[in-house]
Amino acid sequence: MYGDCVLIASWNVNSLKARLERVTGWIKENQPDVLCIQETKMKDAVFPTSTFSDMGYESAHFGQGQWNGVAIISRVGLDSVIVNFVPSVELDPEARIISATCGGVKVVSVYVPNGRALDNDHYQYKLGWMKKLKQHTATIANPTDDLVIGGDFNIAPTDDDVWDATKFEGATHVSAPERKAFSDLCDWGLTDVFRDLHPEPRVFSWWDYRNGSFHKGEGMRIDFLLATKSLAKRITSAEIDRNARKGEKPSDHAPVIIRVSEK
């Protein structure tokens, strides 16, 4: 471990190939011990393992090509990697979840399906996927373990997590079944640590590229680090780095970061 804290972050980079310079720059500046990455949009064969190892990070990637793709990089150890859901839950045809143990903490990086529209088959896939995520989590850990799930959940848990709730009526990300699936997962023994430390509404992690949404403050909070109680009680800060959404060729998501004090 480094110092008396461990920094854990999660970031949907929207193509690791298009974003590699920004990602490595962000890592150098912020020095995370563990980073969960989503939407790498690449095959395992082209994942930049050596770029990260040159920076002192081990990495594990579950990719499929042009879409999806999740990774965990760590400088505090990376063991017991599980690609996809555990087999007892059922394998997903898409590359959306990878799990590992990093410095004694079980870490899961997830890219929850978007859902597209309430009447779309993909919406049912999303609800089923959330149910499987809970089963997967309960299979690999106990609620008393140190575990964190970092990722893009494509769900805004409350109306405080969207810029204007009236604009989302009948849309995905805010529907009652999705919010129920999210709270069901949390009921297993996880807490949204950013919200615990920041009760203020309208703090976002994602802004649409279109319509100047970022500059107008029109976003959603859909990226989370969900921690078990034993981990959450040692968290000293939680932030969303909205600066990472600025400038040239940003991802449409900002990283979420938590700082955990040593036991």
Partner DNA sequence: ATGGTGGCTGGGCCA
Which positions lie near DNA, rule CB under 7 A? Answer: 14-15, 17-19, 41, 65-67, 113-114, 116, 122, 154, 209-211, 249
Please spell the DSSP secondary structure of 197-256, one letter per residue.
H---S---SEE-SGGGHHHHT-EE--EEEEEEHHHHTTEEEEEE-GGGGSSSS--SB--E
- Minimum CB distance to DNA, residue 28 (Å): 20
- As a whole number of angstroms, the distance between CA 211 and CA 240 comes to 22
- As a whole number of angstroms, the distance between CA 126 and CA 89 comes to 15
Catalytic residue list contains 57: no
- Minimum CB distance to DNA, residue 66 (Å): 4
Contacts of 159 (CB under 8 A, 6+ apart): 165, 174
- As a whole number of angstroms, the distance between CA 111 and CA 147 comes to 17
Which is closer to DNA, CB of 67 or CB of 188? Answer: 67
Question: What sign results for the dihedral spanned by CA atoms 101, 103, 106, 112?
Answer: negative
Catalytic residue list contains 152: yes
- Minimum CB distance to DNA, residue 215 (Å): 12
Which is closer to DNA, CB of 36 or CB of 193? Answer: 36
Which is closer to DNA, CB of 146 or CB of 218? Answer: 218
- As a whole number of angstroms, the distance between CA 205 and CA 38 comes to 13
Which is closer to DNA, CB of 115 or CB of 189? Answer: 115
- Write out the two tokens for 178: 């999705």
Catalytic residue (one of 57, 111, 146, 252): 111
Question: What sign results for the dihedral spanned by CA atoms 30, 31, 36, 42?
Answer: positive
Catalytic residue (one of 33, 92, 146, 152): 152
- Minimum CB distance to DNA, residue 76 (Å): 29
Which is closer to DNA, CB of 100 or CB of 129? Answer: 129
- Minimum CB distance to DNA, residue 183 (Å): 22
* Active site (catalytic) residues: 111, 152
